[in-house]
Amino acid sequence: MAKNKSTDDMGFGPIDSTGADGEMAPASSPRNTGDIIKSFVALALIGVFTVFAIQNTESTRVEFLAWEFNLSLILLIVLSAAVGIVVFALGSFVRRRRKTPT
């Protein structure tokens, strides 16, 4: 029985994909396992965020400078986090831009 050989993802040469009994080995690699773990972590985070959103649906009065309005608490939290991320990214961009010689 001929062994089934294929080239690995990095191009380093043939890989023997048969087991000791001549059967094909399962197609699992650290990369596939890592992808599965990342998927489970992403699903868990989505689940946690969903529960958090469901528990924080009440309306909250927001006063900012001259404006007053009612907003869902989860929406307020998400918008605040988004503004924080944008401000951080802009600050990082400006700092990186200053360090780069022109």
Quick: pLDDT tens for 1-12. Answer: 454 555 545 555
**Rounded mean pLDDT of 6-31?**
56
Q: What's the pLDDT tens digit per position in 56-84?
A: 889 989 898 988 999 888 888 888 889 99
DSSP 58: S
What separation, in Å, do the N-terminal and C-terminal C-alpha atoms of the chain show? 64
* Joined tokens for residue 49: 């965020």
> Measured between alpha carbons, how far is 97 from 102 in angstroms, rounded to an integer?
9
pLDDT score for 86? 94
Its pTM stands at: 0.47
